[in-house]
DNA sequence: TTGAAAGCGCTAACAC
DNA sequence: GTGTTAGCGCTTTCAA
């Protein structure tokens, strides 16, 4: 079929056609030899060799786009994360995404981090996630967002991480047990009146922690008072009202996650309070760097990396048409840091 | 042409053909209306509307694979990172990748994190990076690796980050100035004899830091002794020989990056030495979490996030056929932490 | 204002 | 053993 219509594409990339022409064989034979299967057919050793040689000489690289278009499969998993970019301060996100990477490496997928302009409509977003570039999608966003259910109805398998999204399989850590453990720890340490510092717009996971903590605290006979919630901007100072509460006999503070807990510690320290002597502070997440900390705050250790990895496993099962559990909950532990 | 051969694809996705059929118009008209340009043509308001309505009703999503195959463009940038996965302990990598994300978001690209099996050959690796899924590639790997030059010859634009790779445009931070600043700081603080702790297999950036530090130290009349290098496994203890050196009048230690510096601090602390009273320790990177640290170690602050962002800008320029500088060096600062 | 046709590069049934 | 043909979904001349 003609050197006529054929011309190298823009970048001078080598295609199956190039090597087929050079060897004097048809494109699909080359395809069969270089890229794998074809029904019950076999090709002679001689042609095979010729084809391989031509491919090596010309530096042939299969076009994954064409292959994917054909096979309806890209071996890419997408990540939709609505919160923030990776950054040094956010240990949690780094571990989570690291887990996703690890899971992908294990199972032979690449991981696509979707960007989205701030001005994009929900519909544009949906389209850009469902445009056939990924075999499956990991979803990490506030459920209130309402976007989860939209995606869940789409043609692409989706798995939620961190926060339960009822419309799709979800991978979470045991926030409820975590909340309980916090209460048990504080009760055992003799605290009778504690303060809870929640995020201003708590995700499902944080709500679960809080509810479980309060239930358990109540069971154990501890009083819980609410502090004003944390705002969005890593601002940890306590309101005058919080301080008044503190002075009313509160001896411990539970924070919805570690950064807030450390921030709280710093604030109390500024006020001349000792930690944990005057006030004990408890957090959630348990992630560490190698840098030695000023205080070791007792916390719930949550396996975020494993959560990422597990999400990938579940997602790939889904892609392969297997059944998967509706919610997968990973166990947490408590680190007392004595 | 015929409902005959046509059948919905596997997942029941809607294609241009579906909506064209429904409206009773040709595929390319639909394409023109929904997805943009066609030479000087225009389509009547009535058909336009019909097409948009059909698309909305059926939930049409353009197939990015098909489009990319056609347009030779994916709007995806790949990241090849040979060191490790993201993780909480590695603040540096999180910031760098965060910068890449930010740059991508700015310029309308998505970011693909390439995975690769441990057993893959160089050729397989090259193929999987050059397989038309990405418009450009960010390269972060040890240059010794020899892989950089291979990629640089390929058809895909590549930009190196962190460590200079001579065969391609590179984005680095000013390691040399960083090394100088360390020396100046220590000299100004009155140190006359300092120890240098390098990584066992230092990347180009670390070599530059060391060389610049030593040159400047020598200029300033400081003696520098080498400690045994750090191994690969976050092991920071000092050898007996290092300790002997220390006792020979060394009053400061420079580490090739902050984690090692903090690790060193911990080790010295175990030995009962005060920091910075007995020994002053200096690091490199300057990344922080919100967690309050036990010591604030003076360090060189390097803009890793900006490096990521810049790498994307340069790469997209390259993709767009523009000329870009061979090496882009971002300024660093010194944080004395008094 | 619209349609027909070719082709991006690869794969898979089905011939011969 | 190997070639023919059709088609993945989209874009883009060119013709009508």
Residues of B in contact with A110 (CB under 8 A): 112-115
B63–A132 CB contact, under 8 Å: yes
Q: In angstroms, what separates the C-alpha of A93 from chain B's closest C-alpha? A: 8
Distance CA A335, CA A333 (A): 7
Specify whether the CB–CB gap between A62 and A95 falls below 8 A.
no
Distance CA A101, CA A104 (A): 5
Residue B281 has pLDDT above 60, yes or no: yes
Residues of A in contact with B115 (CB under 8 A): 101, 104-105, 108-111
A65–B63 CB contact, under 8 Å: no
pLDDT at A7: 27
Q: Give B4's DSSP letter.
A: S
Average pLDDT over chain B, rounded to an integer: 91
HEC-encoded secondary structure of B169-212: CEEEECHHHHHHHHHHHHHHCCCCEEEEECECCCCHHHHHHHHH
Residue range A287-316: mean pLDDT, rounded: 96
Interface A-B, measured as beta-carbon pairs within 8 A, has a size of 200
Measure CA A225 to chain center.
32
pLDDT at B5: 28
Interchain contact A131–B (C-beta under 8 A): yes
Share of chain A above pLDDT 90, in %: 74
Using a 7 Å CB cutoff, list residues 205-244 of B near strand D. Answer: none
Q: Report the nearest residue to nucleotide C6, CA vs C1'.
A: A5
Using a 7 Å CB cutoff, list residues 17-36 of B near strand D. Answer: 17, 27-28, 31-32, 34-36
Specify whether the CB–CB gap between B263 and B234 falls below 8 A.
yes
Q: Tokens representing A85?
A: 């970019």
pLDDT at A119: 80
Nucleotide with minimal C1' distance from the CA of B16 is D9
Residue B41 has pLDDT above 90, yes or no: no
pLDDT at A41: 59
Residue A286 has pLDDT above 70, yes or no: yes
pLDDT at B9: 34
Under the banding of pLDDT at 50, 70 and 90, the label for residue B4 is very low
Specify whether the CB–CB gap between A259 and A212 falls below 8 A.
no
Share of chain A above pLDDT 70, in %: 94
Say how far B31 CA is from D16 C1', in Å.
19
Interchain contact B305–A (C-beta under 8 A): yes
Say how far B299 CA is from D3 C1', in Å.
68
Distance CA B152, CA B165 (A): 10
pLDDT at A4: 26
Q: Report the nearest residue to nucleotide C8, CA vs C1'.
A: B70
The edge-to-edge listing of strands for the beta sheet with B136-140 is: A327-330, A170-173, A158-161, A136-140, A76-81, A110-113, B110-113, B76-81, B136-140, B158-161, B170-173, B327-330
Please name the member of A91, A155, A291 whose beta carbon is closest to the beta carbon of B12: A155
Locate the chain B residue with the closest alpha carbon to A126: B61
Residue A11 has pLDDT above 80, yes or no: no
**According to DSSP H, which parts of chain A are helical?**
16-23, 27-35, 45-58, 64-71, 91-107, 122-129, 147-152, 175-188, 204-219, 240-247, 258-270, 304-319
Distance CA B186, CA B182 (A): 6
Residue range B50-69: mean pLDDT, rounded: 92
Measure CA B261 to chain center.
22
pLDDT at A13: 86
Interchain contact B289–A (C-beta under 8 A): yes
pLDDT digits (tens, 9 = 90+) for A60-99: 999 999 999 999 999 999 999 988 999 999 999 999 999 9
pLDDT at B10: 39
Which residues, at least 6 apart from B272, have a Cβ–Cβ distance to it below 8 Å? Answer: none
pLDDT at B7: 28
Interchain contact A76–B (C-beta under 8 A): yes
Measure CA B40 to chain center.
42
Please name the member of B63, B108, B131 whose beta carbon is closest to the beta carbon of A131: B63
Does the CB of A338 fall within 7 Å of any strand D atom?
no
Residues of B in contact with A263 (CB under 8 A): 290
Q: Report the nearest residue to nucleotide C11, CA vs C1'.
A: A70
Specify whether the CB–CB gap between A209 and A239 falls below 8 A.
no
Interchain contact A31–B (C-beta under 8 A): no
Under the banding of pLDDT at 50, 70 and 90, the label for residue B37 is low
Radius of gyration for chain A, computed over Cα atoms and rounded to the nearest angstrom: 27
Residue A114 has pLDDT above 80, yes or no: yes
pLDDT digits (tens, 9 = 90+) for B215-250: 999 999 999 999 999 987 778 889 999 999 999 999
Question: Which residue carries 């000299």 as its tokens?
Answer: B187
Distance CA B336, CA B297 (A): 8
Instruction: Mutation target for A interface from B15, B81, B82, B94: give the one with most A CBs within 10 A.
Output: B94
pLDDT digits (tens, 9 = 90+) for B148-161: 888 998 999 999 99
Pick the more confident residue, B38 or B255: B255
A105–B95 CB contact, under 8 Å: no
pLDDT digits (tens, 9 = 90+) for A178-220: 999 999 999 999 999 999 999 999 999 999 999 999 999 999 9
Share of chain B above pLDDT 70, in %: 94
Distance CA B110, CA A111 (A): 10
Interchain contact A117–B (C-beta under 8 A): yes
Measure CA A112 to chain center.
12
CA distances from B155 to A13, A226, A329, B126 (A): 7, 60, 45, 11
B290–A263 CB contact, under 8 Å: yes
Q: Peptide bond preceding A329: is omega within 30 degrees of 0, i.e. cis? A: no
Residue range B298-326: mean pLDDT, rounded: 97
Interchain contact A10–B (C-beta under 8 A): yes
Residue range A19-23: mean pLDDT, rounded: 89
Residue B81 has pLDDT above 80, yes or no: yes
Instruction: Mutation target for B interface from A119, A132, A270: give the one with most B CBs within 10 A.
Output: A132
Number of C-beta neighbours around residue B290 at 10 A: 17
Question: Which residue carries 């300092």 as its tokens?
Answer: B194
List bases in chain C with any atom under 7 Å of a protein Cβ: 1-15
Which residues, at least 6 apart from A208, have a Cβ–Cβ distance to it below 8 Å? Answer: A175, A176, A179
Say how far B46 CA is from C10 C1', in Å.
38
Q: In angstroms, what separates the C-alpha of A220 from chain B's closest C-alpha? A: 31
Does the CB of B48 fall within 7 Å of any strand D atom?
no
What residues form DSSP beta bridges with B285?
B301
Specify whether the CB–CB gap between B195 and B225 falls below 8 A.
yes
């Amino acid at each position: 079929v003609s050197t006529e219509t054929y011309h190298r594409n823009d970048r001078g990339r080598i295609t199956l056609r190039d090597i087929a022409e050079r060897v004097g064989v048809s494109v699909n034979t080359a395809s069969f030899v270089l890229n794998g299967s074809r029904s019950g057919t076999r090709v002679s050793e001689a042609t095979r060799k010729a084809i391989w040689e031509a491919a090596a000489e010309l530096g042939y690289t299969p076009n994954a786009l064409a292959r994917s278009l054909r096979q309806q499969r890209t071996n890419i998993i997408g990540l939709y994360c609505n919160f923030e970019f990776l950054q040094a301060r956010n240990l949690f996100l780094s571990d989570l995404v690291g887990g996703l990477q690890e899971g992908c490496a294990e199972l032979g997928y690449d991981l696509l981090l979707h960007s989205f302009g701030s001005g994009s409509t929900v519909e544009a977003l949906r389209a850009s996630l469902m445009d056939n570039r990924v075999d499956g999608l990991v979803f990490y966003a506030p459920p209130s967002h309402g976007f989860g259910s939209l995606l869940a109805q789409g043609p692409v398998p989706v798995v939620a991480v961190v926060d339960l999204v009822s419309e799709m399989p979800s991978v979470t850590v045991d926030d409820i047990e975590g909340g309980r453990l916090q209460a048990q720890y504080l009760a055992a340490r003799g605290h009778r009146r504690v303060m809870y510092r929640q995020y201003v717009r708590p995700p499902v996971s944080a709500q679960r922690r809080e509810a479980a903590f309060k239930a358990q605290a109540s069971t154990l006979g501890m009083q819980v008072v609410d502090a004003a919630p944390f705002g969005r901007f890593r601002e940890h100072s306590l309101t005058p009202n919080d301080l008044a509460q503190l002075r009313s006999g509160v001896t411990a503070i539970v924070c919805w996650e570690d950064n807030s807990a450390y921030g709280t510690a710093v604030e109390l320290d500024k006020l001349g309070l000792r930690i944990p002597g005057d006030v004990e502070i408890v957090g959630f997440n348990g992630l560490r760097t190698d840098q030695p900390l000023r205080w070791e705050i007792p916390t719930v250790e949550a396996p975020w990396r494993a959560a990422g990895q597990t999400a990938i496993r579940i997602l790939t099962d889904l892609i392969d048409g297997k059944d998967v559990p509706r919610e997968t909950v990973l166990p947490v532990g408590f680190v007392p840091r004595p």
